[in-house]
């Protein structure tokens, strides 16, 4: 058989070797980034490789002005992470350290658990009830289409550990900010604020949190042995990768769009946020390939979003003085767009009517309320840049968000294609819109 196959293989090779395959768009960007780079923790060599991947890919797609804008940031890396109930019912629990968590000694700590059903209950507790103990806060987060339950319960992760530290707690455990019932923990950043001592802080998986709740409900003193050894590695370089679709009228302002290139270290960051960069890049490519719009599209693959929005702040510092017509961000997975919100200076903007008419054709409806952008474009939105939110279905997002389960197989190509179409329609409408897209009054803060 070999004698027949070899010439055929040689012929195939010679015909394909001449033409390189076209650079991927859509699903192919997510597939490429998650396969060829993998996890992309901010400020590490993995994120640097992702920037190289992005620059090569965006140049191959034909974008203009492709370059990296570097910035420095403090870098946190995960260490060992184990937990065992010592008494009354010895058993292991599954957890993951929160970003910026402090560390226990190598040998771990053993302390009594004090449990709270909400952040409000922890806040109300006297310091004496918490001092020297491992605080455990749980909740009842359920899935919502608009992701609003993350806003409700996310504060347990963002600020719970700092509250526990100020009260003298030895460590902080939370029920994962997630809506699944798998034994996979959800990481994410915790904020210490100025002058607050970082304590060891981790998220139990939802089943482990429910287990610990049941153990506590037996009314006996519960002791836990906890080992978390993450550490700060110092100040390292991250960066934003920028690419443009030049418009025909430079005075018409920049349309800023993008997602974030970094991911947490546990999964490969398919839904968070390879999907966002794929959606925005593929939509921008549709303008690059079609008739040029009046406005320039500036596409940013932001660096270091997860540990504290460093890329968005660096962008606003470097470019805040340039005329921005609009900002929009994709950082909510790869599922379909079902609604949109627009915050525009003109109360009866023709842009809003055009978007309503065109997006309705693919099942996207206008929604009441202000648009906010997200962490990456937030610093520009605060300055008064008009903003459009294309709202993706978040029903299954927090089953996977920030877990080891955030991998390529969670991407639904059909829903992803719809999201790209919605973004393409939005961009086409915006780049040519007659709305002058004047700035709004600056906002107090990003919600
Ligand atoms: Zn994200
Ligand atoms: Zn995230």
pLDDT > 70 fraction of the chain, expressed in percent and rounded: 95
Edge-to-edge, what's the strand order for the sheet holding 337-343?
64-77, 231-245, 296-302, 254-260, 324-329, 387-392, 337-343, 365-366
Ligand 2 centre distance from Cα of residue 332 (Å): 9
Q: How many other CB atoms sit within 10 Å of the CB of residue 13?
A: 9
Q: Which of 230, 266, 237, 304 is nearest to 77 (CA)?
A: 230
pLDDT tens across 299-315, in order? Answer: 999 999 999 999 999 99
Roughly how many angstroms between the first and final C-alpha of the chain, as a whole number? 67
0.85 cut: is pTM over it?
A: yes
**Average predicted confidence (pLDDT) for the chain:** 95
Contact 47, 194 (CB under 8 A): no
Measured from the alpha carbon of residue 329, the closest ligand is 1
Contact 63, 284 (CB under 8 A): yes
Q: Residues of the chain with pLDDT > 90: what percent?
A: 93
Average pLDDT over every residue of 322-346 = 98
Residue-range domain boundaries for the chain: 27-73+235-432, 80-231
Cβ atoms of 218 and 290 closer than 8 Å: no
Do β-strands 296-302 and 254-260 pair in parallel, antiparallel, or remain unpaired?
Answer: parallel
Closest listed ligand to the CA of 302: 1
Annotated active-site residue 445? The verdict is: no
> 278: CA distance to ligand 1 center in Å?
13
CA distance 122 to 217: 17
Model confidence pLDDT, tens digit, residues 41-95: 999 999 999 999 999 999 999 999 999 999 999 999 999 999 999 999 999 999 9
CA of 304 to the centre of ligand 1 (A): 10
Residues with CB under 5 A from ligand 1 (ion): 272-273, 331
DSSP labels, 218-251: T-S--EEEEEE--EEEEEEEEEEEEEEE--S-GG
CB 260 within 8 A of CB 306: yes
- Sign of the alpha-carbon torsion through 252, 258, 261, 264: positive
Q: Ligand 2 center to residue 181 CA distance, Å?
A: 19
Task: Give distance in angstroms: CA of 145 to centre of ligand 2.
Answer: 17
d(CA 447, CA 443): 10
Query: What is the CATH code of the structural domain delimited by 80-231?
Result: 3.50.30.30
Q: What does the DSSP assignment read for 252-263? A: G-EEEEEEES--
Q: Tell me how far the alpha carbon of residue 187 lies from the centroid of ligand 2, in angstroms.
A: 9
Kindly report the CATH number that applies to the domain delimited by 27-73+235-432: 3.40.630.10
When pLDDT is cut at 50, 70 and 90, the band that residue 347 belongs to is: confident
| 8 A C-beta contact, residue 343 and residue 279 | no
> What ligand has the least distance to the C-alpha of 402?
2
The pLDDT value recorded for residue 445 is 60
Ligand lying nearest the CA atom of residue 333: 1
Ligand 2 centroid–CA 118 distance in Å is 22
Q: Which of 47, 81, 305, 421 is catalytic?
A: 305
């Amino acid at each position: 058989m070999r004698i027949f196959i070899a010439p055929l293989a040689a012929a195939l090779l010679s015909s394909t070797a001449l033409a390189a395959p076209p650079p991927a768009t859509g699903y192919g960007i997510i597939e490429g980034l998650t396969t060829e780079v993998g996890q992309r923790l901010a400020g590490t060599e993995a994120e640097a490789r992702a920037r190289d991947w992005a620059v090569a890919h965006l140049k191959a797609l034909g974008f203009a002005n492709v370059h990296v804008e570097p910035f420095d940031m403090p870098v946190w890396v995960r260490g060992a992470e184990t937990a065992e109930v010592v008494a009354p019912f010895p058993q292991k629990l599954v957890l993951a350290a929160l970003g910026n968590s402090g560390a226990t000694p190598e040998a771990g700590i053993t302390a009594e658990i004090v449990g709270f059903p909400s952040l409000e209950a922890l806040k109300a507790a006297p310091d004496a009830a918490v001092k020297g103990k491992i605080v455990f806060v749980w909740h009842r987060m359920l899935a919502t289409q608009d992701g609003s339950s993350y806003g409700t319960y996310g504060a347990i992760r963002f600020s719970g550990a700092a509250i526990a530290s100020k009260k003298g707690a030895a460590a902080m455990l939370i029920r994962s900010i997630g809506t699944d019932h798998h034994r996979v923990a959800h990481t994410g950043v915790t904020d210490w604020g100025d002058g607050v001592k970082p304590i060891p802080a981790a998220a139990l998986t939802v089943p482990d949190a429910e287990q610990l709740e049941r153990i506590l409900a037996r009314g006996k003193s519960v002791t836990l042995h906890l080992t978390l050894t993450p550490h700060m590695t110092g100040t390292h370089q991250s960066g934003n990768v920028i690419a443009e679709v030049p418009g025909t009228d430079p005075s018409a302002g920049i349309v800023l769009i993008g997602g974030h290139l970094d991911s947490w270290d546990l999964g490969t960051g398919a839904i968070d946020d390879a999907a966002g960069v794929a959606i925005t890049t593929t939509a921008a490519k549709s303008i690059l390939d079609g008739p040029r719009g009046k406005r320039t599209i500036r596409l940013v693959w932001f660096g270091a979003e997860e540990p504290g929005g460093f890329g968005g702040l660096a962008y606003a510092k470097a470019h805040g003085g340039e005329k921005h017509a609009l900002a929009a961000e994709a950082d909510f997975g790869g599922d379909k767009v079902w609604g949109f919100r627009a915050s525009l200076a003109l109360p009866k903007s023709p842009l809003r009517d055009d978007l309503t008419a065109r997006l309705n054709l693919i099942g996207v409806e206008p929604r009441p309320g202000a648009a906010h952008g997200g962490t990456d474009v937030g610093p520009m939105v605060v300055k008064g840049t008009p903003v459009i939110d294309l709202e993706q279905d978040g029903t299954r997002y927090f089953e996977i968000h920030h877990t080891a389960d955030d991998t390529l197989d969670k991407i639904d190509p059909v829903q992803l294609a719809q999201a790209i179409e919605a973004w393409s329609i939005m961009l086409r409408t915006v780049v040519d819109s007659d709305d002058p897209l004047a700035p709004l009054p600056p906002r107090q803060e990003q919600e």
